[in-house]
Amino acid sequence: MIRLHHYELSAECYKVRLLLSMLGLAHETVQVDMYPGAAHLSDSYRRLSPLGRLPVVEDGDLVLDDANAILVHLAASHDPGGTWFARAPGQIAQWLGYGAALAASLGAARLMDCFDTGMDSAPLIARALPILDALDRHLWLEAAEGHFYLCGTGPTIADIACFADTVLAEEAGVALRRYPAVRRWHDRVRMIPGFIVMPGVFPR
């Protein structure tokens, strides 16, 4: 059985929980007290992830500690329909990269504020805004052609990779009304069968 090590308030972990739910994959979860316990930096956790990264998925002998890698693995190995990744791997990989850049900027800024670290998140926000704008442009133009997801007419792991941090953007102090096409796409992701929430994300 797939085992997910996760922390409830982490957007990276939410990405994996979303895909597991949308694919309807049975799995067990292990809660990691990342904050305030810093359990992800413990010796026992580092045996799974030497860098102390969250989430970790164990699937048989395979251990992965990167959200994008886990999304690709689950879509490639556990999606019989082959719609979540195989349809447009190059295009999807590009948006996985955008998702990682959002996690490193917007997502990191959110956690800084949320855990009240006292650090200045403004430089991270400055890096996130052009990415949000590029996402808004792409989504608006795609929607104008009747493509309601990042890569065409159906959801892929690209949507999941970019959804988690952008839907939580206001927790990082970024007003989402600046990106109306992103807000509209958030509504569409909420309609995907198997959609689940994390704290800070509202259901449909």
The residues that touch another protein, with contacts defined as CB under 8 A, are 7-9, 31-33, 35-39, 113-116, 118, 133, 136-137, 140-141, 143-145, 170-171, 173, 175-178, 180-181, 183-184, 187, 199-200, 202-204
DSSP 130-151: HHHHHHHHHHHHHHHTT--BTT
Q: Toward another protein, which CB reaches closer, 100 or 103?
A: 103
Residue whose CB is less far from another protein, 28 or 170 = 170
HSE, CB side, 13 Å, CA atoms: give it for residue 22.
27
CB neighbour list of residue 118: distance below 8 Å, 6 or more residues apart: none
Q: Quick one: CA torsion of 98, 165, 182, 149, rounded to 10 degrees?
A: 60
Give whichever of 2 and 182 is closer to another protein, judged by the CB atom: 182
Closest approach of Cβ 28 to another protein, in Å?
A: 14
Q: Which is nearer to another protein, 28 or 33 (CB)?
A: 33
CA Rg value for the chain = 16
Q: Report in angstroms how near the CB of residue 177 gets to another protein at its nearest.
A: 4
Give the list of residues 6+ apart from residue 34 with CB closer than 8 angstroms, or none: 7, 9, 10, 40, 54
Q: Closest separation between CB of residue 64 and another protein, Å?
A: 21
Provide the minimum distance between the beta carbon of 147 and another protein in the complex, in angstroms, as a whole number.
10
Q: Residue 19 Cβ, how far from another protein at the closest point, in Å?
A: 20
Tell me the closest approach of the beta carbon of residue 89 to another protein, in angstroms: 24
H or E stretch at 185:
helix 180-190
Dist CA 117 CA 170 (whole Å): 17
Give the residue with the Cβ less far from another protein, 8 or 77: 8
Nearer to another protein, 61 or 116 (CB): 116
CB 184 within 8 Å of CB 135:
no
Residue 36: asked if its preceding bond is cis (omega within 30°), the reply is yes
